[in-house]
């Protein structure tokens, strides 16, 4: 059974009623090209505020490409066309100050990537670079961010130790803490638990569910159980097309698109 | 059975070759140290050299070597750092970058005597700088620049891209990411390269014969005003280094104890280079452990 047989016009994309739902970020006709390779076609999605949205799909489906375009991490490697609407601005415009924008749209990566600095410096580093000098304030941010990332109790006595002395799962939560220390609006996560063991994974998941009270979370995941456990909405990507976007429970119980149904029942991917 | 036999033969041959390399090195070092170390004394290390009588030392030459090395590093490190950062972090794939890379390749393969002659014609003669420490330091910079640049580029490149993404995703500019995150992480590798390069520069003779000159003028260690011609710090005085001294004694030395001075100088040079090599490893490892806190 080939994976190319699906009709890319068979789509089911959820649109929100703007009177009832607050949209945090949305894309219009987002296209991504790596050289001649057209990696993403017409990405049209809206993300509701204070919800977790999962992006699922097989490898090479374009879900990571889509996510990394949202805070312009693909700028140097790909050509991104279309609109990314955030607070009335088109983020995908040359006029946007990307460095400023990334403070509002933070990102956590697949592999933990703490800096070769101490645990507390990992969190305060970017803040200091922005000019925050007040020691007391910085200490407060370290504590609150680590608490938000559910790491405080494990590291509160070792704040001056190197971040590399932590376990992989702890490092990833430190990366989440580092990102939310910037007080972003939106948290993008690119398969944040794929390199971690099940216990660390479930801790990250608990953390995310807690965080969605204050952040809009968009997460790419390979793990369908993870998507169904934690997310409110799910988008299904296939070969660069977004074929279905709906409430998570609809996607996993009564998908309307053939490709989605085949993917979640394990026929490919 | 045949594969096993082949394997055993291959491993044995490789072992013999490796042992041979170690043996040659041990023989060289042993010979130089055994014949030279007995001549090393505090007097030998500090006294000025003698041209016609015995009992001369290498004090001035030793100082010249160290001073020249420091000057060379002061000139070449900032240039290499800039070039290394450019090549590793910013250089687009275009004709200009390719040309820079090729220039570095060519520069690194130039024989040092050619670099020395070039320095002689340009700095000593054309620019009228004379046989001077400054001419020597610039010639040694040419010699050191390509290796140091390549080392810095490699060290920066070996920092995973994840670190760059981490910095950018926190809203840091590319420059901040490079200087505050990538550079500190590459530091152990860079320091190791600088110290290893220093060892090479310290032992270099051919590039200096025609630039820093072959005479150790009398310098007055009580006078540290760099503008005074007898000051050790004077940039425009000729300065024979230890390596040049060894070459000169062996080609035209007329002092009665020439063989002993040569052996002693060689031993000092070898010991210095060994110290550079071992400290490069030590410092590199220390820094790495400190940065990653794997105690």
Q: In Å, what is the CA distance from A153 to each residue of A115, A149, A192, A197?
A: 21, 10, 21, 20
User: For residue A136, how many C-alpha atoms fall within 13 Å in the half-sphere facing its CB?
Assistant: 0
Q: Which residues contact A45 (CB under 8 A, 6 or more apart)?
A: A13, A26, A27, A235, A242, A245
To 5 degrees, how large is the angle CA A117–CA B170–CA A98? 150
Chain B residues lying within 8 Å of A107, measured CB to CB = 165, 169
Mean pLDDT, residues A72-96: 89
User: Which of the four pLDDT bands, split at 50, 70 and 90, describes residue A143?
Assistant: very high
Closest Cα in chain B, distance from residue A112 (Å): 8
Average pLDDT over residues A157-179: 90
- Return the H-helix or E-strand segment holding A25: strand A23-34
pTM of the shown model = 0.82
Tell me the C-alpha distance between B68 and B136, whole Å: 7
Give the chain B residue nearest A110 (alpha carbons). Answer: B162
A-chain CB neighbours of B180 within 8 Å are: 125, 129
Integer angstrom CA distances of residue B125 from B81, B106, B153, B214:
30, 24, 34, 16
Q: How far is A25 from chain B (nearest CA, A)?
A: 17
**For A186-211, what is each residue's pLDDT tens digit?**
999 999 988 888 888 888 899 999 99
Residues of B in contact with A109 (CB under 8 A): 162, 165-166, 169
Per-residue confidence (pLDDT) for residue B177, from 0 to 100: 92
> Distance between CA atoms of B278 and A247, rounded to whole angstroms?
63
Q: What was the pLDDT predicted at A35?
A: 87
Q: Which chain B residue lies closest to A180 (C-alpha atoms)? A: B170
Give the model's pLDDT for residue A27. Answer: 93
Interface touch A178/B170, C-beta < 8 Å: yes
Q: Nearest-CA neighbor of A115 among B177, B45, B249, B151?
A: B177
Q: Which residues pair with A84 in a beta bridge?
A: A27
Residue A81 clears pLDDT 50, i.e. is over it: yes
Gap between the Cα atoms of B225 and B233, Å rounded: 7
Predicted confidence at residue A194, as pLDDT, reads 85
B287 touches chain A (CB under 8 A): no
> CATH code for A12-264?
3.40.50.300
CB atoms within 10 A of CB A5: 9
Contacts of B172 in chain A (CB under 8 A): 99, 126, 129
* Nearest CB partner across the interface for A113, out of B165, B172, B291: B165
Task: Please list, residue by residue across A16-55, b when 16 or more beta carbons sit within 10 angstroms of its beta carbon and e when fewer do.
Answer: eeeeeeeebbbbeebbbeeeeeebbeebbbbbbeebbbbb
Listed residue (A91, A23, A68) closest to A188, CA to CA: A68
From chain A, pick out residues whose CB is under 8 angstroms from the CB of B173: 99
Numbers of helices and strands, H then E, in chain A: 10, 11
The reported pLDDT for the residue numbered B295 is 41
Mean pLDDT, rounded, for A225-230: 91
Nearest residue in chain B measured CA to CA from A104:
B171
Structure tokens at A145: 């961010």
Residues A123-130, mean pLDDT to the nearest whole number: 90
* Contact assessment for residue B216 and residue B246, using Cβ atoms and an 8 Å cutoff: no
Of A74, A106, A126, which to mutate for an interface test with B (greatest number of B Cβ within 10 Å)?
A126
- Whether A92 has a pLDDT exceeding 60, the answer reads yes
Burial class (CB in 10 A: 0-12, 13-18, 19+), A102: buried
Residues of chain B with pLDDT under 70: 291-295
Task: From chain A, pick out residues whose CB is under 8 angstroms from the CB of B181.
Answer: 115
- Mind listing the domains of chain B with CATH numbers? 40-292 (1.10.3720.10)
Q: Distance (Å, rounded) from C-alpha A93 to C-alpha B92?
A: 22
pLDDT tens digit sequence for B139-198: 889 888 999 999 999 999 999 989 999 999 998 999 999 998 899 889 888 988 888 888
User: What ipTM is given for this predicted complex?
Assistant: 0.84
For residues A164 and A146, the answer to whether their CB atoms sit within 8 Å is no
For chain A, the distance separating the N- and C-terminal CA atoms, rounded to the nearest angstrom, is 12
Q: Provide the number of CB pairs (under 8 Å) joining chain A to chain B.
A: 65
Q: Is B175 near chain A, with CB under 8 Å?
A: no
Q: CB-based contacts of A159: which residues, under 8 Å, 6+ apart?
A: A118, A119, A120, A142
Cβ atoms within 10 Å, residue A7: 10
B166 touches chain A (CB under 8 A): yes
B5 CB neighbour count, 10 Å cutoff: 9
Sketch the domain layout of chain A as residue ranges: 12-264
> Which two structure tokens, joined as six digits, stand for A195?
């390199």
Supply the DSSP symbol for A217: E
**A-chain residue closest to B187, CA distance:** A116
């Amino acid at each position: 059974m080939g994976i190319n047989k699906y009709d890319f016009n068979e789509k089911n994309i959820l649109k929100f009623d703007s009177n009832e739902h607050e949209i945090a970020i949305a894309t219009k006709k987002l296209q991504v090209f790596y050289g001649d390779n057209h990696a993403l076609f017409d990405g049209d999605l809206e993300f509701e505020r204070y919800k977790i949205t999962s992006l699922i799909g097989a490898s090479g489906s374009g879900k990571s490409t889509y996510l990394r375009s949202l805070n312009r991490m693909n700028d140097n490697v790909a050509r991104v066309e279309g609109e990314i609407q955030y607070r009335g601005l088109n983020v995908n415009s040359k006029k946007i100050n990307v460095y400023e924008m990334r403070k509002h749209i933070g990102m956590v990566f697949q592999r933990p990537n703490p800096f070769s600095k101490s645990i507390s410096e990992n969190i305060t580093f970017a803040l200091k670079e922005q000019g925050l000098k007040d020691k007391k304030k910085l200490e407060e941010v370290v504590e609150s961010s680590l608490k938000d990332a559910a790491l405080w109790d494990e590291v509160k006595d070792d704040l001056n130790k190197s971040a590399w002395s932590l376990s992989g799962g702890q490092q990833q939560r430190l990366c989440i803490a580092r990102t939310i220390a910037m007080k972003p609006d939106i948290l993008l996560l690119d398969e944040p638990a794929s390199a971690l063991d099940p216990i660390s994974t479930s801790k990250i998941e608990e953390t995310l569910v807690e965080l969605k009270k204050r952040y809009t979370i968009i997460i790419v995941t390979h793990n369908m159980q993870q998507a169904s456990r934690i997310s409110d909405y799910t988008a299904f990507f296939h070969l660069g097309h977004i074929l279905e976007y709906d409430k998570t429970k609809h996607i996993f119980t009564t998908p309307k698109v053939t490709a989605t149904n085949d993917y979640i029942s394990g026929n490919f991917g | 059975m045949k594969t096993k036999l082949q394997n055993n033969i291959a491993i044995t041959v490789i072992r013999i070759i490796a042992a041979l390399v170690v043996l040659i090195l041990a023989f060289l070092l042993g010979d130089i140290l055994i014949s030279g170390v007995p001549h090393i004394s505090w007097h030998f290390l500090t006294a000025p050299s003698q041209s016609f009588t015995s009992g001369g030392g290498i004090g001035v030459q030793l100082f010249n070597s160290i001073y020249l090395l420091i000057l060379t590093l002061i000139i070449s490190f900032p240039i290499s750092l800039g070039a290394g950062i450019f090549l590793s972090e910013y250089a687009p794939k275009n004709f200009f970058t390719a040309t820079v890379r090729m220039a570095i390749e060519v520069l690194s393969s130039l024989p040092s005597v050619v670099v020395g002659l070039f320095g002689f014609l340009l700095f000593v003669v054309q620019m009228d700088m004379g046989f001077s420490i400054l001419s020597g330091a610039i010639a040694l910079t040419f010699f050191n620049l390509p290796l140091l640049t390549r080392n810095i580029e490699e060290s920066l490149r070996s920092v995973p891209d994840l670190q760059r993404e981490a910095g950018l995703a926190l809203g840091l500019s590319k420059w901040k990411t490079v200087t505050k995150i990538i550079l500190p992480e590459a530091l152990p590798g860079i320091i190791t390269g600088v110290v290893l390069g220093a060892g090479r520069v310290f032992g270099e003779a051919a590039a200096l014969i025609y630039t820093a000159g072959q005479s150790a003028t009398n310098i007055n260690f009580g006078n540290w005003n760099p503008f005074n011609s007898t000051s050790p710090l004077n940039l425009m005085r000729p300065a024979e280094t230890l390596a040049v001294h060894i070459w000169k004694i062996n080609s035209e030395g007329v002092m009665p104890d020439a063989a002993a001075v040569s052996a002693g100088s060689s031993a000092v040079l070898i010991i210095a280079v060994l110290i550079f090599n071992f400290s490069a490893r030590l410092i590199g490892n220390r820094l790495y452990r400190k940065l990653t806190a794997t105690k």
